[in-house]
Chain A
């Protein structure tokens, strides 16, 4: 019988195929044999795991190859296994001995102050589970048939990387979150994925349809449903191709309203292969990663901004000053131990408390402004006073640069609108432009955390209250001649675009991968007909 299970869409697209279960080794236990056989069982499991990981490393490149290469090096090292073998000699079963040895190894990593080392605990857990799967004779996902739908409670990134996605397939998770590492990998490879369907995944078998657009999973699907899914998948693929083909053409609604579509980037790697004429400039440059590495290195920051301006070839480049804090901690800069970092010291709040570091970024920005139309955007602004304090710092930097005879120009100074109080009091900000950060504005306005699975449905940009704030800001911008753009995920979401345009948004900034789709969704909107949803 056909059943529909609803979850959260984590990666868009449609897929259907045979269900393949990926069971966690969890609480499974092995029947203990004599010492010699336990020793042999562990040795066999480790050598089989090593062989599998080495083969996987061969097939990958870049960062994925490094992650797996590290696991190869560890599995190939007797130091990893000696404690487990010692426990087996002492009478433990192979699985118990191995688990305990890995618990100790993981504890060592987790005890580190250094986030780089702590993060590697995930690799040890991955190795642990891989060896346990061998011990329990559980199948590896690498043997899943092409186009399979992988069902699991959660999926480690290495399992994702070990699957051949070139011939389709999809993912359904009982737990998981759209912001998880594996969800990002799935979006990067265009693998449809639905998460958070609960324990129901364990009962699924046969052919499964994964609807990563609506966040639905269809089991026991009828012939008609599968045919429909096949047609939808084909249609989606064709739409994507069509959109790509006219990516470089301007986005104009059916009634002739031109909409500027800009892109969100962090560095030049993000625009690799993208012709600058395909977009109307850069609407958001995230500088967290850059500044974390170059806190006081003005030259390195200048070079990075200059590179983007040269790429944009005369189009505007908006650069957001350091937006650390929230889910983006920087050791020694952000505050440790905040109970709710999203409501804590982040963005401009932190920058104004670290004027020495803020000054370096402002100098680099003012210098880069000599190369092209650079705009500075301040994140998390709550009060007009913060904007004026930042302006005073920028003015001081401009005076210094002039005194040094250093080439520079005066950049436009605008703010990001993501705090609801700032959105409602928008007229109190004397900013050159406003950019609505819809992700944070939505989570703050709906009191629903962005990464909270249980409350994800509340965090909806289409909530009338959120749209009212957006429209309030847009109206103020139109009345005072200040540009208002929107640079959150919603700007690239075909389901949200019409509502945003109706709210008065005429400039969106989206991730480069969504540029083509966003432009096509805009071309479908007709603002001259009344809103059906209203």
Chain B
């Protein structure tokens, strides 16, 4: 199975805070692939479908989010996740 990776700069003011975390995980759950997120390309990797785990990452504005997906819709998942970060989670 092919693994797809990409990264995006977190530019929204509050970072990966409550609402953005919920939006990110809801989006990730739409895909069957395993989707993970990290604030460093070397990991540690976190399940992007778990709001509890994402909140533990505490990613703030200015950090780079790295995404990794593995599964049949991995590319689509990565495209969508990078896009929602670039859109500042439609919040600003």
Q: Which of B32-40, B46-54, B65-73, B78-86 contacts A (4 or more CB under 8 A)?
A: B46-54
Contact at A80–B18, with CB atoms within 8 Å?
no
* A120 closest partner in B (C-beta): B18
In the assembly, what is the distance between CA of A78 and CA of B50, in Å?
8
Q: How many residues of B contact A (CB 8 A)?
A: 19
B17 part of interface (Cβ distance < 8 Å): yes
Q: Out of B13, B14, B18, B58, which one reaches A123, CB within 8 Å?
A: B18
| B52, A74: Cβ atoms closer than 8 Å | yes
Shortest CB–CB separation between residue A356 and chain B, in angstroms? 20
Q: Could you tell me if A79 and B47 are in contact, using CB atoms closer than 8 angstroms?
A: yes
In the assembled complex, the Cα of A406 lies from the Cα of B13 at a distance in Å of 30
B51 near A73 with CB under 8 A, answer yes
Judge whether B22 and A79 touch: CB under 8 Å: no
Given known contacts A69-B22, A77-B50, A293 and B13 CB-to-CB distance under 8 angstroms: yes
Judged by a CB distance under 8 angstroms, whether B55 is at the interface is yes
- Alpha-carbon separation in the docked complex, A117 to B56 (Å): 9
Check B51–A77 contact: CB distance below 8 A.
yes
Question: Separation in Å of the B70 CB from the closest CB of chain A?
Answer: 19
Q: How many A-B residue pairs have CB under 8 A?
A: 48
- Verify A66–B50 contact, CB threshold 8 A: no
Tell me which of B14, B47, B52 has the highest count of chain A C-beta atoms within 10 A of its own C-beta: B52
**Is the beta-carbon distance between A120 and B55 smaller than 8 angstroms?**
yes
Contacting residues, chain A, for B56 (C-beta < 8 A): 108
Residues of chain B lying within 8 A (CB to CB) of residue A293: 13
User: B54: shortest Cβ distance to chain A, in Å?
Assistant: 9
A70 contacts B by Cβ under 8 Å: yes
Indicate if A405 sits at the interface (CB-CB under 8 A). no
Instruction: Please give the residue numbers on chain B whose beta carbons come within 8 Å of chain A beta carbons, in ascending order.
Output: 13-15, 17-19, 21-22, 25-26, 47, 50-53, 55-56, 58, 60
A residues apposed to B, CB below 8 Å: 66-67, 69-70, 73-74, 77-80, 105, 108-109, 112, 114, 116-117, 120, 123, 293
- Closest 9 pairs between A and B when the two form their complex, measured CB to CB: A79-B52, A70-B18, A73-B51, A77-B52, A80-B52, A79-B50, A73-B22, A116-B17, A116-B14
Task: Give 8 pairs: A residue, B residue, CB < 8 Å, sorted on A.
Answer: A70-B18, A70-B22, A77-B51, A108-B56, A116-B14, A116-B17, A120-B17, A293-B13
